[in-house]
Amino acid sequence: MEKIPILKMGKFLLVTIQVDLYDRLALTLEEDLIQMVFKTGSKGVLIDISALSIVDSFMGKIIGNIAGMSSIMDAETVVVGMQPAVAITLIELGLPLSGVHTALNVEKGMALLESRMPPSLDDANDDDVD
């Protein structure tokens, strides 16, 4: 079965959605991602949706869900690279994704996550990983 890869980058998880996201795939992603957050103890999740050109209310809900689940597991979610059409669609659908952080691109998203990590925690985490 098709799967969306979840990459571990330092303290964060990086998900790049490069294919059309159908409902089943989105649900699998939601489950895999939360498992990964639990397994790796990541403090941040970065979802790159710059290749996503079509979005529906279900997708909006899944993104909201991932953010909500991550936040109760003490990980922040940043959605990056949203296309203008996707942003307008989500707003028109009444899904402002208020719990989700956003950034223009992966680089800025990383910087945002980086800036939200308390410095002391960073060190402790690095030790744990090593």
Partner 1 sequence: METPIFEILRSKKDRVLQLWLQVQQMDTEVSNNYNTADELRAQSTEFVDILVGSLNENTVQDFSSPELEALTDYISSLTISRARQGFSPRETATYIFTLKDALLKVLSEQNSDNPQQLYQDSILVSKFIDNIGILSFETFITGREDVIFQQSEEMAELSTPVIRVWNGILAMPIIGTLDSARTQVVMENLLQGIVDTGSSIAILDISGVPAVDSLVAQHLIKTVNATRLMGAECIISGIRPEIAQTVVHLGIDLSQMITKATLESALKFAFNSLQLEVRRTQREKLN
CB 64 within 8 A of CB 97: yes
79 binds partner 1 (CB under 8 A): yes
106 lines the binding site for partner 1 (CB under 8 A):
no
- Please select the residue that binds partner 1; options are 88, 121, 124, 129, rule is CB under 8 A: 88
81 part of the interface to partner 1, by CB under 8 A: yes
Q: Which helix (H) or strand (E) holds 14?
A: strand 12-16
Angle between the 23-40 and 57-72 helix axes, to the nearest 10 degrees? 10
Binding segment for partner 1 (CB under 8 A), chosen from 37-45, 68-76, 85-93, 120-128, is 85-93
Among 52, 90, 110, 113, interactor with partner 1 by CB under 8 A:
90
Beta carbons of 52 and 79 less than 8 angstroms apart: no
107 within 8 A of 80, measured Cβ to Cβ: no
Per the DSSP assignment, residues forming a β-bridge with 16 are 48
Please provide the DSSP assignment of 37-63 as one string: HHHHT-SEEEEE-TT-----HHHHHHH
Which one of residues 52, 97, 110, 113 is an interface residue with partner 1 (CB under 8 A)? Answer: 97
Among 72, 84, 119, 120, binds partner 1 (CB under 8 A): 84
Among 14, 59, 103, 110, binds partner 1 (CB under 8 A): 103
Structure tokens at 71: 């936040």
Instruction: Give residues in contact with partner 1 (CB under 8 A).
Output: 79-84, 86-88, 90-92, 96-97, 102-105, 108-109
